[in-house]
Chains A and B, each alone.
Chain A
């Protein structure tokens, strides 16, 4: 298991056309939501993707789940190139990937009972009889802490935290190898956040899951991640082990992010934000997209885009900077 990565994303690019009209095909600008992202996720690990709102995290997560067709690049899951899979192959691969979204209420179909929501992946993949599925739904509900008596109720009867538990149960229904969670705790109250986070950590340990965990909250990333990828303007700017990235950042942007966070592990108010505006995804600056805000920027930064490489002495960390710390 240790050899091949579970998920590998290679040179992922996703551009959204801004204006898609019948008569002006081909013209118009594009939003460069993701502009060349590569990373590997090993079996059993949790990789956190952090960055400010709008930097392209959600787009990466959705492309990794093939909810977006990438403009360019590959997404390999267990060695299989998902971008080349046709309907059947894709469906088979999806059985092993669970998804959790940011807005707990919106991620549950308001017209279905919770039992049906949790069991739906089983129905889709034709697993078990309807009685087996009901049983499995009960089991999962119990595991995530939803009262069995509530299973026939509809999502609006539940709080945000409970909805997210239901979403977790659904994501785990088919015993996935990978769970892609896009800001799963960001819209919850702080106290509920840690409960849900603990549930996710617990599930991971018991079921041998791997997480691709998206968050804009460094505190949350610090609590759950094994490794961290920091994104800026559609690219990964720093990638490495959690402790190295958070305690010895080498990219000026990562440093600025961490400086803006009062104390790590505080749980509260650790959301990523930094003075100044991130660039507009429709018109990125030339060279290093961070150069207009970077205190260390030099002439080269305006011209050449820095590649994500090892800055040498610092070991396993990768950074995309001409002048790393």
Chain B
């Protein structure tokens, strides 16, 4: 596992899963399946040729649901992690570059957010009625809005690690001579931060971003599981488990597959992040 191929294995697993999820429409066309097609005569169907993994509590094809759910979970994870990384990067850059009171304030803020019980707060955020914020009812009640909402909410919950990390990098880079040279030449703060500091902090940022993809997917899955995330009929691995507690008796497979997929994706994100970090920092004793 310490070979180069071994190092990249987690990345390969993720790419493969993403490719499979992208292939959902091909599978559906080939099998002639509608992923959202409810067929109450086919509830809890056993695996068969028409439904390779059987059907769920509404008679929908499980493979199609898993692929569609993967699309949603992976893209939410990716987009929200990007958002979290962007927020964390900006906060970390500002805190590390300007220092002083701004730094003290931003880091207190970050520490406080880390200390908060995030999930309960995310639940409140997920429950917020968008029409009360002036969002037109037509948009607030549309199907896709749950997607955007979950991206924003989970992104808001995951920026703190990146912020601390970028701040640390910025503090170190700010003393480097090429940064001083840029300042001394008259470069403005934005230029120094984004041309000189940010690109040189990029590798650790990528590590943190990778780790936060896993984190976001965990948040998304639990919120969707609780009925506050991705709203049915859109499938996500989390909301496919919503009824698992009741159907554990009759259809344990329905509770197993989505959970295993979440575990695989999150574990591989964490592994990939760890491997990247180790290869950047040979001192690091972590696995």
Contacts and interface: CB of A to CB of B under 8 A. Distances in A.
Interface of A: 22, 62, 65-67, 87, 90-92, 94-95, 97, 99, 101-103, 106-112, 120-121, 124-125, 167, 170, 174
A319 B186 CA distance: 35
B104 A22 contact: yes
B200 A94 contact: no
B105 to A, nearest CB: 10
Contact of B184 (A87, A97, A125): A97
B28 to A, nearest CB: 44
A106 B186 contact: no
Nearest to A91: B186
B284 interface: no
B182 A109 contact: yes
A67 B186 contact: no
Interface string B84-117: 0000000000000000000010000000000000
B245 interface: no
Nearest to A104: B177
Interface string B164-192: 00000000000011101111111110010
B196 A67 contact: no
B176 A120 contact: no
A212 to B, nearest CB: 12
Contacts of B188: 87, 91, 124
Contact of B186 (A62, A103, A108, A124): A124
B200 A110 contact: yes
Contacts of B181: 99, 101, 107, 167, 170
A176 to B, nearest CB: 10
A90 B186 contact: yes
Contacts of B282: none
B136 interface: no
A111 B185 CA distance: 18
A99 B180 contact: yes
Given A112-B195, A124-B185, 6 more contacts: A66-B184, A94-B185, A99-B181, A124-B187, A124-B191, A170-B185
B178 A108 contact: yes
B199 interface: yes
A99 B181 CA distance: 6
A58 to B, nearest CB: 10
Nearest to B175: A106
Nearest to B183: A67
B186 A107 contact: no
19 contacts: A66-B184, A87-B188, A92-B186, A94-B184, A94-B185, A99-B185, A101-B177, A101-B180, A103-B177, A106-B176, A107-B178, A107-B180, A107-B181, A108-B178, A109-B199, A109-B200, A111-B200, A120-B185, A124-B186
B196 A109 contact: yes
A103 B181 CA distance: 12
A121 B104 contact: no
Contact of A67 (B104, B176, B178, B184): B184
A188 to B, nearest CB: 15
- Centre residue among B181, B182, B183, B196 by max chain A CB count within 10 A: B181
B7 to A, nearest CB: 23
B186 A95 contact: yes
A217 to B, nearest CB: 19
Contacts of B177: 101-103, 106-107
A318 to B, nearest CB: 29
